[in-house]
Amino acid sequence: MLDIHRLRLLRELDRRGTLAAVARALSYSPSAISQQLTQLEAETGTTLLEHVGRGVRLTEQARILVRHTEVILERLELAEADLARSMTEVTGTLRVASFQSVMLALVPTALSLVAERHPALRVQLTQAEAHDAFAGLVAHDFDLVLGEEYPGLAQPRLDGVDEEDLTSDEMRFAVPPDGPWSRGELSELAGAPFVFDPGNIIPGQWARNTCRSAGFEPDVRFSSGDLLLQVRLVETGHAVAFLPDLLWAGSSPGAVRLHHLPGRPRRRLFTGVRSGAGQQPRVRAFREALRSSITSTG
C-alpha cells in the first residue's frame, strides 16, 4: 500500500521544483523529505528521482504517480465533504487567505454572518497576496483563498484548484482634492507621481500597463501594496493611485476624487478551493456569507 503522505510530498516536488522549496512550504527539512521519498521509491520498487546537477528531476514513473495522486487527493476531499454534509451542524475550522481590499470591505461582514448562522464554525484569516495564497491552498495551509484577475492579465488555472466567481469590481484612478494633479483625464497625468503596487505582482503590472496604454510611462514615486497608505498619499496630495471600488463599499471616498479609467476596466474577484472541497459545508457557508456581504455593502 502506497503512503498518501509520501505521495503528496512527491506531488509538491513536482509543483515546486526543488526539495528546498517543498521543505519551506511544508515546514520540513530537505533531508526529511528526501528520506520520505526514498521510502516511497522502496514502496514502488522503481526510481522516482534523478539527480541533475545539485538538484533532482522526476522520472516518468514519478509523473505517473503524481497524476494518480491528484485524483486520490480530490477523492479524499470529496469524501470529507460527504462526511461533513451528513452532520446537521457546520463545525470545525476554515482557514481563509485573502488580500487587503476584500478583507476591508467584505470579510468583516462575512465573519459576522458566519458567527450568526454557524456559531460552531471557526474561521482563521490570513492576509496574503494571491500567488502566496494559492500556493498555500495547494499545500493544505489554507482551505479557501480569495483571488483577483485583472483585464488583459488572465492567469493560468491551477491544477487541483476549483474556482467560483464572486463579483467584479471597477478600477478607477484617484487624485487629490486639489493641486496640480487633481485632473479628470488619465492622459493629463503624465508627469504626476504615482503610488502603485510593486511591479513584480499582477496589480502593479496592470497599473503600469494602463498608464502605458494611455501614452506615458508612469513616475512610480511610491511602491506599496497597502491600499490605506495609497489612499493617504492621495488625500495629502503626494500621489495618484488606481483603486478598486470595493475599497469604498458602504462608505465615501472622502477627500479623494475618483475618475473612470479609459474603458472602465473591472477586475474579477473569485474564491478558490482544492478540487473536491467545494461541497464542504464549511466552504459553502463562507462562500454564502461572502455573497451576502456583497449584497449588504452594495
Domain ranges of the chain: 4-83, 91-161+273-297, 169-267
Report the amino acid identity of residue 174: A
For position 297, what pLDDT does the model report?
A: 64
Higher pLDDT, 272 or 82: 272
69-78, 143-152, 229-238: the lowest-pLDDT one = 69-78
Question: 4-83: which CATH topology?
Answer: Arc Repressor Mutant, subunit A (1.10.10)
Query: In the CATH scheme, what is the homologous superfamily, with its name and number, of domain 91-161+273-297?
Result: Periplasmic binding protein-like II (3.40.190.10)
Quick: pLDDT tens for 88-110: 678 899 999 998 888 888 899 99
For position 10, what pLDDT does the model report?
A: 83
Q: 91-161+273-297 and 169-267: same fold?
A: yes
Q: What is the mean pLDDT of the chain?
A: 88
**Per-residue pLDDT band at 153 (split at 50, 70, 90):** confident
Quick: pLDDT tens for 21-47: 887 777 778 888 888 888 888 888 888
Give yes or no for a contact between 1 and 15, defined as CB atoms under 8 angstroms apart: no
User: Is the overall model pTM greater than 0.85, yes or no?
Assistant: no
19-28, 33-42, 192-201, 259-268: the lowest-pLDDT one = 19-28
Higher pLDDT, 1 or 144: 144
CA angle 157, 85, 93 (to 5 degrees): 70
> What DSSP string runs through the chain?
---HHHHHHHHHHHHH-SHHHHHHHHT--HHHHHHHHHHHHHHHTS--EEEETTEEEE-HHHHHHHHHHHHHHHHHHHHHHHHHHTSSS--EEEEEEE-HHHHHHTHHHHHHHHHHH-TTEEEEEEE--HHHHHHHHHTTS-SEEEEEE-TT-PPPPPTTEEEEEEEEEEEEEEE-SSSTT--S-GGGGTTSEEEE--TTSHHHHHHHHHHHHTTS--EEEEE-S-HHHHHHHHHTTS-BEEEEGGGGTTS--TT-EEEEPTT--EEEEEEEEETT-TT-HHHHHHHHHHHHHHHHH-
Quick: pLDDT tens for 53-70: 777 888 888 888 888 888
For position 273, what pLDDT does the model report?
A: 94
Give yes or no for a contact between 128 and 97, defined as CB atoms under 8 angstroms apart: yes
Question: 169-267: which CATH topology?
Answer: D-Maltodextrin-Binding Protein; domain 2 (3.40.190)
**30-39, 81-90, 189-198, 241-250, range with greatest mean pLDDT:** 189-198
**Per-residue pLDDT band at 233 (split at 50, 70, 90):** very high
For position 111, what pLDDT does the model report?
A: 94
| Cα torsion angle, 70, 89, 141, 133, sign | positive
